[in-house]
Amino acid sequence: MIAAARAIVRRDLLLALRRPGDVGTALLFFVIVASLFPLGIGAEPNLLRAVAPGVIWVAALLSSMLSLSRLFAADHADGTLEQMLLGAAPLGVVVAAKVLAHWLISGLPLVAIAPLIALQYDLPASLYGTLAVSLLLGTPVLSLIGAIGAALTLGLRGGGVLLALLVLPLYVPVLIMGAGGVDMAAAGLSPQGQLQLLAALLVVAAAFAPWAIAAALRISTE
């Protein structure tokens, strides 16, 4: 199982490197959306610092959704997904590896660039660590939840709109806790409670979401 998961992660990463435009789209969207807000709301430092956590988190949430519709679409189109369904490795392990690759491609770059985006909002340097940790814990949860929606809408006409309607309500708790942790740190309070809740969500999602994704894929391919 470990060898199969490693091979799938390596395969998806190689495919992403051969299509750098798909990888760069989500990152560029994140940068553009987060950079437009200071232009729209003005250059008041206190206002920018107040809205920075929410804006950065909303931009990360929306950018992570851009590539969800392609998570299983290519494998479904060329028949690879059917071979995965019939393979010896448990489907839950297979989809967990695919979600991990998706997060490495679309989520981890957002975590790395978020402190640079925070410079535009005059966010104190002491908050960069909290922002990065909250995104590091929260973006994998977004990928896991989004993968469930991507599996349920696989092959449907207008699946992108339906995918957004399915996953956006489920993203709200992650958004609240992620941005709330940075807000608490900015107010001089400990963000430990919010970060621990995010970590708990990540553990629960990592334990149960792959099997939900596997069941949704079986339903969608029948």
Total Cβ atoms within 10 A of residue 124 = 11
- Give residue 65's pLDDT band: very low, low, confident or very high (50, 70, 90): confident
Q: Which of 191, 142, 188 is nearest to 169 (CA)?
A: 142
What is the C-alpha separation between 32 and 15, in angstroms, rounded? 25
pLDDT tens for residues 90-102? 888 888 999 999 8
Over the chain, what is the mean pLDDT? 86
Residue 121 near residue 179, CB atoms below 8 Å:
no
Per-residue DSSP letter, 125: G
Task: State which residues form the domain around 170.
Answer: 2-221
For position 158, what pLDDT does the model report? 66
Helix (H) or strand (E) holding 45: helix 45-66
The confidence score (pLDDT) of residue 220 equals 77
Q: How many domains does the chain have?
A: 1
Instruction: Give me the half-sphere count of Cα atoms (radius 13 Å) on the Cβ side of residue 219.
Output: 13
Check pLDDT > 80 for residue 47: yes
**Assigned token pair, 93:** 């392990």
pTM metric for this prediction: 0.89
Which pLDDT tens digit goes with each residue over 101-122?
989 988 898 999 998 898 888 8
Q: Do residues 1 and 89 touch, judged by C-beta distance below 8 A?
A: yes
Burial group, residue 167, by CB count within 10 angstroms (0-12, 13-18, 19+): buried
Residue 53 and residue 179 in contact, taking contact as beta carbons nearer than 8 Å:
yes
Encoding tokens for residue 203?
């553990």
Which candidate, 12, 204, 2, places its Cα nearest to that of 93? 2
Cα separation, 40 vs 171, in Å, equals 25
Distance between CA atoms of 194 and 175, rounded to whole angstroms?
11
Percentage of residues of the chain with pLDDT beyond 70: 98
Backbone angles phi, psi at 32, to 5 degrees: -65, -50
Assigned token pair, 79: 């028949």
Q: How far is CA 176 from CA 115, 184, 187, in A?
A: 19, 12, 16
By CB neighbour count within 10 A (0-12 exposed, 13-18 middle, 19+ buried), where does 29 fall?
middle
- Per-residue pLDDT tens over the stretch 145-192: 999 988 888 877 767 778 888 889 999 999 999 999 999 998 888 899
The answer to whether 71 and 64 have CB atoms below 8 angstroms apart is no
